Amino acid sequence: MAQALDEVARIPVPSRPAFSAYVRRGRPVVITGALDDWPARRWSPEYLKSEYGDRVMPVAPIRDGKVVYGAEFGVRYDQIRFGEWLDGLLAGSPPPYYAMFHVHEVLPDLAHDLRVPPFCPPAPWSTTRFWMSPADTGSPMHQDLPDNLLAQLIGRKRIVLVPPRDSWRMYRHPLTSHLPQYSRVDVENPDFVRFPRFARARRIVVELAPGDLLYLPRLWWHQARSLDFSVSVNHWWATGWRYAIVRAAVAYQQLRQIRW
């Protein structure tokens, strides 16, 4: 059964040693005030359209309020002009797409409005991803190899977390599939007949407001739903021996042309 809302601690901006304690323990935490000096806090649909409306971005189709994906093909992407997407939003009928892409690959100019928090450790590998979705849009339950800071910039987002120790209850897709880090369980509407072990998985619900920064430790399962029109960015990083594992995983994805 899901735990109480906001069971995850909420703390002010920590020092690097204080944040490192959360990383060592693999403990999620919501950090408040960390985005106050980010130029990205000025983002709005109107601002994004004026700055980037002519750019083309990859988007994943949405069906019945969820990203379309499958073990046989991963996540399929279309292309849409940023301004076209935002025109639909401002008219009250956003296209049924979830924009998600690596900033440095698609819109590197966005990075000028973002910051790496000073308490985040320096790392030989890191990447930043942009996420934009209409209200009431969900993404699949999955886990990531690197550590993750998720910055909520516009709108609210609800995250359901499951700790790594319950991975055996998550019914992941096979390693040979195009979604080896995804669960077959829909956490928002679980089928306990097909996935009985999941009934005993510990679930924690966190709700993020604009300006919140969520630390998601590596290997924690998470599934998100945008409660409003939502824009988020996340910063993944890997250090030490995990760096080699993440680089190997990235190479494996590229070799198999896995997109997610």
Q: What is the mean pLDDT of the chain?
A: 91
Q: What is the pLDDT of residues 163-192, one digit of tens each?
A: 999 999 999 998 888 888 899 999 999 999
How confident is residue 4, by pLDDT bands cut at 50, 70 and 90? very low
pLDDT of 2 reads: 46
pLDDT of 253 reads: 64
Mean pLDDT for 141-154 is: 96
pLDDT of 252 over the 70 cut: no
Q: What is the pLDDT of residues 9-53, one digit of tens each?
A: 999 999 999 999 999 999 999 999 999 999 999 999 999 999 999
> In angstroms, what CA-CA distances link 10 with 7, 28, 197, 247?
9, 10, 30, 31
Placement of tokens 């403990």 in the chain: 27
Cα–Cα distance between 12 and 258 in angstroms, integer?
Answer: 37
Q: Which domains does the chain have, with CATH numbers?
A: 10-256 (2.60.120.650)
Closest among 19, 219, 218 to 120, alpha carbons compared: 19
Token readout for 243 is: 């760096």
Instruction: For residue 54, count other CB atoms closer than 10 A to its CB.
Output: 9
pLDDT of 3 over the 70 cut: no
Mean pLDDT for 80-96 is: 93
Mean pLDDT for 147-151 is: 97
Counting DSSP H helices and E strands in the chain, the numbers are 5, 16
- Could you tell me if 102 and 57 are in contact, meaning their C-beta atoms sit under 8 angstroms apart? no
